[in-house]
């Protein structure tokens, strides 16, 4: 596998996401981090803001590109020439949903493999929802998100 895609809402990007990217970069020639656009979900940050935060958070990862997509993930993976989809697993409870999605993606495009990566254990409890909640309550999130994300959260929540 030369190119993989790492999709997510990244609302906002956390150090757990960055850790998964680092692991993917160590394994694959090219990684496309792609922001999923879901019009049925209300996001804190716009697609453009999330793409910009990812680009800033991933400076120095020369084999990483960041984009966004709307629609079927497997269609986007084909468009960018990816042969694999990276999915992060933080805990056992993530596996059931991710396994179901992997099987559906295989049914839709069996030439695209799903690869599960686990972040460092210090990020296993971390997710974007928790970060948004902490930031809305004015908690210090600097240990959990890159500086640009911390500043963006401060602006959103005053």
Catalytic residue among 41, 93, 107, 155: 41
How remote is the C-alpha of 67 from its chain's centroid?
A: 11
| Separation in Å, CA 129 to CA 26, 29, 33, 85 | 28, 31, 19, 23
Catalytic residue among 50, 57, 76, 128: 128
8 Å CB contact between 34 and 153: no
For this structure, is 41 an active site residue? Answer: yes
For this structure, is 128 an active site residue? Answer: yes
Q: In this structure, how many other beta carbons lie within 10 angstroms of the beta carbon of residue 26?
A: 9
Catalytic residue among 22, 78, 90, 106: 90
For this structure, is 106 an active site residue? Answer: no
Burial of 80: CB neighbours in 10 Å, binned 0-12, 13-18, 19+: middle
* CA dihedral of residues 74, 79, 85, 88 (deg, nearest 10): -100
> Which residues are known to be catalytic?
17, 41, 90, 128
């Amino acid at each position: 596998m030369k190119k993989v895609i790492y999709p997510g809402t990244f609302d906002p990007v956390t150090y757990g996401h960055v850790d998964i990217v680092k692991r993917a970069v160590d394994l694959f020639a090219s990684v496309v981090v792609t922001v999923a656009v879901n019009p049925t979900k209300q996001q804190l940050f716009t697609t453009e803001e999330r793409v910009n935060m990812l680009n800033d958070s991933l400076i120095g990862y020369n084999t990483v590109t960041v984009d966004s997509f709307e629609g079927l993930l497997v269609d986007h993976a084909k468009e960018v020439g990816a042969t694999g989809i990276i999915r992060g697993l933080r805990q056992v409870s993530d596996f059931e949903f991710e396994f179901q999605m992997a099987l559906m993606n295989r049914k839709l495009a069996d030439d695209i493999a799903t690869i599960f990566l686990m972040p460092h254990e210090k990020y296993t409890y971390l997710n974007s929802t928790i970060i948004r909640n902490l930031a809305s309550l004015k908690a210090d999130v600097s240990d959990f998100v890159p500086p640009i994300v911390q500043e963006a959260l401060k602006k959103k929540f005053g």
